[in-house]
Amino acid sequence: MSLREKLEAGGPAIGLWASIPSALTAEGAALAGADYVVADQQHGALDPTTLMAMLQAIAGGGSAPLVRVARNEPFPIGQALDLGAAGVIVPMVESGEEAARAVAACRYAPEGIRSFGALRAGAGEQPLCVVMIETRAGLERAAEIAATPGLDGVYVGPSDLALSLGLQPTIRLEHPPVLEALAVVHAACADAGVAAGVHCLAPEDVPAQSERFAMVTAGGDALLLQGALAAALRTARG
């Protein structure tokens, strides 16, 4: 079952986040059994050559390769798709107009404005377009954003959302206003018939969130690697 099919069936699709600029670690995330692996261009140090290698490795490992692009503009979105992403996650979307802009960048004419010229054969065909709600302004327009024609999903970024709500980000999903925001976005997505997604930094939060969200990220490579190494050293030192 493809990622699109899994999301349309209600999920849950459980994925991992890849910020380390390495095809080896990206492949490891895929081989671990993730339904999708997101290469992060917004906060990760990924140049186009490294990104393409990571996308190839993720697909080769059996996961759907996605890219969180750096910004909501046609060039980075089109480039990610041309290099082989099965879809993009677009950050900091705060209105239906901004969501529509992201959708248009993912679609060829007449539905959109994406330029034709995929570097890899078949790259970016029928790509997923998912936008992020991670600010108070986006939250207030969740229904408008989710109802954007052609949009495939809305993905919540709890850390930036917490900051926007005047809170400090936490590893666990525990702030009541953030949990209330998750419910708001989930309801908006259910009404619009699009997939709802959420980013978890702690794998412990995934079981509860996957009961309602179709797309749930179980953590990122850098934090998980650091945690695993620290645990190994604690065990080694007794």
Q: Residue 118: pLDDT above 80?
A: no
Q: In which band, very low, low, confident or very high, does the pLDDT at 1 lie, cut at 50, 70 and 90? A: confident
- For the stretch 19-70, pLDDT in tens is 999 999 999 999 999 999 999 999 988 999 999 999 999 999 999 999 999 9
Q: To which H or E segment does residue 180 belong? A: helix 176-192
Q: How far apart are CA 204 and CA 113, in angstroms?
A: 40
Catalytic residue among 43, 175, 186, 199: 43
- Provide the residue count of the chain: 238
Name the β-bridge partners of 64: 36
Residue type, 89: I
Q: Where are the beta strands (DSSP E) in 29-173?
A: 36-40, 64-68, 87-90, 128-133, 153-156
Is 43 catalytic? The answer is: yes
| Phi, psi (degrees; rounded to nearest 5) at 164 | -65, -25
Q: Residue 125: pLDDT above 80?
A: no
| Phi, psi (degrees; rounded to nearest 5) at 139 | -60, -40
Cα 91–Cα 93–Cα 94 angle in degrees, nearest 5: 150
pLDDT at 211: 94
- For the stretch 72-114, pLDDT in tens is 999 999 999 999 999 999 999 999 999 999 999 999 999 999 9
Mean pLDDT rounded to a whole number for the chain: 95
Q: In which band, very low, low, confident or very high, does the pLDDT at 120 lie, cut at 50, 70 and 90? A: confident
Q: What is the pTM of this model?
A: 0.94
pLDDT at 30: 97
pLDDT more than 90, % of the chain: 93
